Structure 1
């Protein structure tokens, strides 16, 4: 069975490649990973530790994200491409009618707990708990792994960008994953138990790399939503074991900067972020994130620039040298 994505000329021109994983897709796919035992070399250590440390709010996510089959589209809004905060705001604003439709779709394949009926009715309490659970899972289970994830994703995206620049998007598409094949103007995804057609109709396709997407590329069910294809990146750069570190180097950085400031620096190394996103990644307060970012900027390890009313923090070559030991 196959999922066919139909392009026209405008779609090829408007298809984009995200430079980093989507935070809410990683949360959803991370929750999937917790419920299976696949890829033990990559996910085994992380999965074991995460299962042992799930909070009550995070456990509720399991009901909405079965590892096989449908997961509600509202959990991975397009707005999350702008960051975790934007994505969670979009989740919280999901209309009750859409909640009802998607949760009913989910209930066709799994038995849902009673609180999901209140969620579908638009009651604020269940939605608040859901958003808190999503934020907590990202902050405590995904964000600490971002430097390791970046080590796998960044080289893959660089290679994909080079392929597009040298040979065009049509050359890249079938190279993203073995299940993908291109026969103009249709991209075919070979998936079990799915027989569908998606017509992009000039909207283009957002290609999003993912570390926690481990088997097949993922798409949304609703054809009216902004089209996205989330594809797995190869994990060799991160093996063995997702949470394995290079302790000597990390210990030296922590001794130099202090454990919290070293964690902040590593969080920034995962990609440009606002102060609020930095706080979520590092698992610290907003005020603490702001102060640590200021010190790192003043000492020349981080570049901070203001855009409108917000600031963006990025790792500069000196900071990269401190973290990795490579020359500037």
Structure 2
């Protein structure tokens, strides 16, 4: 089975590589991984730790994310590329027609719980609970792994950027994944049980690296949505973050509300100081000062990229957040 993606000149010019994983794609794919037993060396410790710690709203997400087959497109909106909160805002604003159509399609393959009917009917309370579950799963199950995820993703993306800059898009394709092939102007993706064509029609393609996409690249089903191809990045086995709840709660209290907010926003994904200021709603000078303190106390890693700096949650910072939310 082959998924064929048809390019024209405008599509090649508008194809981009995301520099970091998409938070809601990682949530969806993490839910898939959680329900299986694949790649035990990489995901096994994470599964063992997470399965016994799911909250009720997080557990409800499993109904929308079967490990095999279709998952609704509205769970992974394009806005998630702008950060977790932007993505959650987009999920909450999913048009009623899209909700009904996608939940109906999902019900063709799995038995859905009653609350999904209320979701499809526009019950804002159910949508709020769904968004809370997505946010909670990311911040307590995905964010603590960000140091390990960054270690896998950042070198791979840097290499992909270099290949495109030096050798062009065609040379990148075989480096992304073994299931991908290029015969101009068609990008083919070998996928089980999928045989279809997607015409980009000048929209370009967004290539998104993923830690939890473990076997095959993933795409949205709806051809009218902005085209995205999520591809697995190879990574080595690594230990999961060990939480120390009592210590972490105490440290989180000492941070203060604004600084804790800054740390939480950095956990949504690596960002520059100006991006951090926008996420938190504080001035760039204040964001810079809070990020400096978090760096000095060992919760955040800061490194220079060209003329700007980027702030990334490190292992200690992830432990603090995980403990604070226990």
- So what's the TM-score if we normalise by structure 2? 0.81
2:302 match: 315
How far apart, in 1, do the equivalents of 2:287 and 2:203 lie?
A: 41
| Maintained 8 Å contact 1:268/1:315 | no
Cα offset for 1:266?
10
CA distance in 1, matches of 2:264, 2:119: 36
* Deviations, residues 150-193 of structure 1 (Å, cap 9, x unaligned): 00000000000010011001110222000001000000000110
**For 1:214 and 1:74, how far apart are their aligned partners in 2?**
21
* Other structure's SS at 2:42 match: helix
Equivalent-residue separation in structure 1 for 2:76 and 2:110 (angstroms) = 19
Question: Whole-Å Cα distance in 2 between the matches of residues 103 and 299 of structure 1?
Answer: 42
1:177 matched to 2:177:
yes
How many pairs align? 294
Mapped to 1, the partners of 2:63 and 2:89 lie a distance apart of 21
Distance 2:26 2:92 in 1: 18
Aligned to 2:270: 271
Contact 2:270 2:310 in 1 (8 A): no
Specify the alignment match of 1:62 in structure 2. Answer: 62
* Structure 2 gap segments, 5+ residues each: 316-326
State the secondary structure of the residue aligned to 2:109: coil
TM-score, with normalisation over the residues of structure 1? Answer: 0.80
**Does the CA contact (< 8 Å) of 2:3 and 2:189 recur in 1?**
yes
Distance in 1 between residues matched to 2:128 and 2:241, nearest whole Å: 34
Q: Say if 1:20 and 1:154, in contact at 8 Å, map to a contact too.
A: yes
Assess, with a 3 A threshold, how the Cα gap between structure 1 residues 148 and 53 changes in structure 2: closer, same or farther.
same
Q: Structure 2 matches for 1:120-131, cutoff 5 A?
A: 120-131=120-131
Say yes or no: does 1:24 pair with 2:34.
no
Deviation at 1:293, TM superposition (A): 7.0
- Runs of 4+ aligned structure 1 residues displaced above 2 Å come to 258-270, 273-278, 290-302, 316-320
Q: CA deviation at 1:296?
A: 4.3
Task: State the distance in 1 between where 2:98 and 2:287 align.
Answer: 41
8 Å Cα contact 2:24-2:75 kept in structure 1? yes
| Equivalent residue number for residue 107 of structure 1 | 107
Residues 38-86 of structure 1, C-alpha deviation per residue, up to 9 Å, x if partnerless? 0111000111110000000000000000010000000000011111111
Task: Answer whether contact 2:176 2:231 (CA < 8 A) is retained.
Answer: yes
Question: How far apart are residue 274 of structure 1 and its match?
Answer: 2.8
CA contact (8 A) 1:7 1:186 kept: yes
Instruction: Tell which deviates more after alignment, 261-270 or 71-80.
Output: 261-270
Q: d(CA) in 1 for partners of 2:75 and 2:4?
A: 23
Look up the match of 1:240.
238
1:118 has 2:150 as partner: no
Alignment correspondent of 1:307: none
Are residues 63 and 275 of structure 1, via their aligned partners in 2, closer, same or farther at CA, if it must alter by over 3 Å? farther
Q: Does 1:297 align with 2:292?
A: yes
- The change in CA–CA distance for 1:298 and 1:10 in structure 2 (over 3 A counts) is same
- Who is 1:9 aligned against? 9
1:194 maps onto 2:189 in alignment: no
Q: CA-to-partner distance for each residue in 1:263-293, whole Å, 9 max, x for gaps?
A: 9779848511536968xxxxxxx99xx9997
Alignment of 1:15-164 (within 5 A): 15-164=15-164
Q: Which residues of structure 1 form unaligned runs of 5+?
A: 248-253, 279-285, 303-312
2:16–2:207 CA contact under 8 A, matched in 1: yes
CA RMSD of aligned residues (A): 3.4
Flag the 1:299–1:12 CA change in 2: closer, same or farther, 3 A. Answer: closer
The DSSP-based 3-state class of the residue aligned with 1:207 is strand
Deviation at 1:240, TM superposition (A): 3.2
